[in-house]
């Protein structure tokens, strides 16, 4: 109930449904349809269609965000967010809202995590000669940008991290 309507099923226990709990646009539309229904069966069909529409929208939103997260994780470049928005035919603000609602963080924060993860994997697999190699392979502006991001996510520098691994 919370996912579909924004309120708990507990709120409805032994109580009539208050359409004011539903988004005003949806509530007005539903109320008009129900008032114009001729029979109880027609009202039930209207409610059934309404709930089906809500579930379809939720499933579609989840599929879009799942697709977006896969694209971002695969290519966490700065341009990816704009490319994903264009591909999904949504505005930047709509994409941000959908993403934050479903994932819990902003699309840019997710992109930064994916970028760091890619760099971290490269560091762990020791596929570099210099830290600047990792920085440029993962589209950080420079080595110091990579080191700042690394420290932000791990509270240590890449050099400190590598020393930590050698001491074990």
pLDDT in tens, 111-160: 999 999 999 999 999 888 999 999 999 999 999 999 999 999 999 999 99
- Contact 150/116 with Cβ under 8 angstroms? yes
DSSP single-letter state for residue 128: -
Q: Angle 92-103/80-88 helices, nearest 10 degrees?
A: 100
- Specify the pLDDT at position 28: 79
- Contact 140/152 with Cβ under 8 angstroms? no
- Specify the pLDDT at position 56: 63
- Specify the pLDDT at position 41: 84
CA dist 24 and 20 (Å) reads 7
Q: What is the DSSP string of 76-123?
A: --TTHHHHHHHHHT--HHHHHHHHHHHHSS-HHHHHHHHHHHHHHHHH
pLDDT at position 103 over 70: yes
Structural domains of the chain, ranges and CATH numbers in brackets: 62-168 (1.10.10.60)
The token pair that represents 123 in the structure block = 């560091």
CA dist 28 and 165 (Å) reads 61
pLDDT in tens, 6-43: 545 555 555 555 555 556 666 778 888 888 989 888 88
CA dist 116 and 87 (Å) reads 24
- Contact 81/111 with Cβ under 8 angstroms? yes
Q: Exposure of 27 by Cβ count < 10 A (0-12 exposed, 13-18 middle, 19+ buried)?
A: middle
Largest CA distance in the chain: 78
Residues 6+ apart with CB under 8 A from 46: 30, 33, 34, 37
């Amino acid at each position: 109930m919370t996912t579909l309507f924004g309120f708990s099923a507990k709120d409805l226990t032994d109580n009539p449904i208050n359409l004011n709990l539903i988004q005003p646009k949806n509530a007005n539309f539903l109320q008009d349809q129900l008032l114009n229904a001729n029979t109880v069966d027609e009202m039930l069909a209207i409610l059934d269609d309404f709930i089906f529409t809500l579930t379809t929208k939720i499933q579609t939103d989840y599929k879009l965000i799942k697709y977006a997260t896969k694209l971002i994780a695969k290519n966490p470049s700065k341009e990816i967010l704009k490319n994903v928005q264009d591909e999904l035919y949504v505005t930047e603000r709509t994409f941000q809202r959908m993403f934050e609602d479903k994932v819990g963080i902003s699309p840019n924060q997710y992109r930064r995590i994916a970028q760091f993860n890619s760099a971290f994997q490269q560091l762990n697999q020791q596929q570099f000669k210099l830290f600047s190699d990792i920085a440029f392979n993962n589209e950080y502006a420079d080595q110091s940008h990579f080191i700042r991001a690394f420290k932000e996510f791990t509270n240590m520098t890449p050099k400190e991290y590598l020393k930590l691994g050698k001491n074990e």
